[in-house]
Structure 1
């Protein structure tokens, strides 16, 4: 079974809001899904995203393939960076503390904290 992380369209006509879901690649766009990871609203300025980061990273580590749009959303929210750092820990290149430190440095730089 091939698993994809993709957007599920909800909302009114001409005012879509999307759920970020994990689904079997054979299921239709707005059909059955395995787990909801968050929401994406493109109508706010800037677009708002609410994510369960730990679950998203877990699914990526299991091998779920994100669509191009979801990959872009994950990149902007640091999910792909977190996955990359966890793979470094798994391979023994990074320690857990160093990984957390690198992620917090990126987060502070991105959100200017």
Structure 2
């Protein structure tokens, strides 16, 4: 499930709008230059899959994005409650930051907040 909450920069306590409707989410994100897609995460992978195995399982989808966007690199981030560097990653991802290039996220399992 995807959910979009839009806040006013001056009042971040209460969202201006909230929606779970994927078509509405896609439209609102498109208006600010963000593309959203849903892929099927239907490949059989064990919980301890290596980055190499995850990339191999979704190579066709990755190849499509590479062809469309000309991306040169990609990687896998695998987080779980017992990850030894979870505090470091949490701080990295909580700090607001921007990128000059596109950033693509695909969740095979779990969730992310952006």
Same fold (TM over 0.5): no
> Which structure is higher in RCO with an 8 Å CA cutoff and minimum separation 6?
1
Structure having the higher Rg: 2
After TM superposition, the score normalised by the length of structure 2 is 0.30
TM-score normalised by L of structure 1:
0.30
Q: Counting helix residues as a fraction of each chain, which structure ranks higher?
A: 1
Structure having the larger proportion of residues in strand:
1
